[in-house]
């Protein structure tokens, strides 16, 4: 399957690059750098940087040029995971089958490692050397978009509503808010900035935005489903943990079948958005299909 091959290839590309964009693991002060490396190499699938790269390539861009941004979005994703897992938030002790950051390094270092990854993402995205290969306007625009997507009216806002909904009766519109803000905005931003950095036209950007929004929501719905049906070793966290915490999920509100159908129809819509793109958008098409077929 093309998507798996493409994602495997992107993962290798990103994995190899990450250490170049980070202080060394034993750099002083050692505890925080070890902790940052630990969570970055704790089994991430690199879906967000892969989407960014696939989107860049879909509009004729080059993966080497967008690499610092691709690494930066993985830093941002990892920071959200470290902070979400903290005792004051989701209080998770396992992530992808490994002890969470604060279980290994303590809460103080986990908080600071999250802060440091968030900060490091902007170190990469604002590097003046990037101006040699990407127009400065596009660099600023892309950095601004991802910052807004991660803000209190984006991903963080979604996380707040998610936390405050625990144990509450949640209606469909609140659930959609959580999913769109906590997950969808980030996926959409990855797709958009890959395209922005590669000089996409505004019409290309418009359709890619819709593609990104659709697959972002589909991804989260499937995540909810896998949390119920998935195998523990494949998901690396306690199956049913969202139900234990009475978290708002699609299957809880609409049932498994209806949720699966919703995810599939979102992916169909996403594929429809790519109609006017040539074969360079095939990875984007395959990733969309993979999002509903995945079992982990």
Task: Tell the burial category of 246 from Cβ atoms under 10 Å away from its Cβ (0-12, 13-18, 19+).
Answer: middle
Residue 151 or residue 168: which is nearer to a copy of itself going by CB?
A: 151
Residue 91 or residue 232: which is nearer to a copy of itself going by CB?
A: 91
Residues 6+ apart with CB under 8 A from 294: 222, 226
Q: What DSSP letter does each residue of 25-94 carry, written as one string?
A: TTSSSHHHHHHHHHHHTS----HHHHHHHHHHHHTT--HHHHHHHHHHHHHHHHHHHHHHHSTTTT--SE
Q: What is the binding site for a copy of itself (CB under 8 A)?
A: 23, 27-29, 31-33, 36, 79, 83, 86, 88-89, 106-109, 111-116, 118-120, 122-123, 125-128, 130-131, 136-137, 139-141, 143-144, 147-148, 150-153, 156-157, 159-161, 163-164
Task: Tell the burial category of 173 from Cβ atoms under 10 Å away from its Cβ (0-12, 13-18, 19+).
Answer: exposed
Tokens of 131: 């101006």
User: Least distance in Å: CB of 101 to a copy of itself?
Assistant: 12
User: Least distance in Å: CB of 261 to a copy of itself?
Assistant: 29
Residue 125 or residue 273: which is nearer to a copy of itself going by CB?
A: 125
Tokens of 233: 């070793």
User: Least distance in Å: CB of 51 to a copy of itself?
Assistant: 20
The closest of 128, 28, 26 to 68, measured between CA atoms, is 128
User: Least distance in Å: CB of 81 to a copy of itself?
Assistant: 13
Residue 24 or residue 238: which is nearer to a copy of itself going by CB?
A: 24
Tokens of 23: 């202080």
User: Least distance in Å: CB of 39 to a copy of itself?
Assistant: 13
User: Least distance in Å: CB of 171 to a copy of itself?
Assistant: 15
Which residues, in sequence order, are bridge partners of residue 94? Answer: 99
Residue 117 or residue 287: which is nearer to a copy of itself going by CB?
A: 117
Residue 23 or residue 236: which is nearer to a copy of itself going by CB?
A: 23
């Amino acid at each position: 399957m093309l998507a798996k091959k493409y994602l495997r290839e992107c993962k290798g590309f990103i994995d190899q690059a990450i250490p170049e964009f980070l202080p060394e693991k034993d750099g002083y002060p050692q505890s925080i750098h070890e902790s940052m490396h630990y969570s970055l190499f704790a089994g991430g699938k690199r879906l967000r940087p892969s989407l960014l790269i696939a989107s860049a390539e879909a509009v004729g861009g080059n993966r080497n040029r967008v690499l610092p941004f691709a690494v930066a979005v993985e830093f941002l994703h990892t920071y959200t995971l470290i902070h979400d897992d903290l005792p004051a938030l989701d209080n998770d002790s396992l992530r992808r089958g490994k002890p969470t950051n604060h279980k290994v390094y303590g809460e103080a270092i986990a908080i600071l490692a999250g802060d440091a990854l968030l900060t490091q993402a902007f170190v990469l995205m604002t590097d003046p050397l990037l101006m040699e290969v990407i127009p400065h306007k596009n660099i600023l625009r892309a950095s601004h978009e991802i910052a807004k997507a991660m803000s209190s009216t984006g991903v963080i806002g979604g996380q707040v509503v998610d936390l405050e909904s625990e144990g509450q009766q949640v209606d469909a519109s609140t659930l959609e808010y959580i999913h769109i803000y906590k997950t969808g905005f980030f996926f959409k931003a990855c797709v958009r900035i890959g395209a922005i950095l590669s000089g996409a036209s505004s019409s290309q950007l418009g359709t890619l935005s819709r593609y990104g929004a659709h697959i972002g929501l589909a991804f989260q719905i499937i995540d909810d489903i896998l949390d119920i049906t998935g195998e523990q070793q494949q998901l690396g966290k306690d199956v049913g943990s969202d139900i234990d915490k009475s978290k708002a999920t699609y299957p809880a509100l609409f049932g498994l079948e209806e949720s699966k159908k919703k995810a599939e129809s979102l992916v169909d819509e996403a594929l429809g958005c790519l109609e006017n793109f040539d074969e360079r958008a095939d990875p984007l098409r395959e990733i969309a299909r993979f999002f509903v077929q995945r079992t982990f």
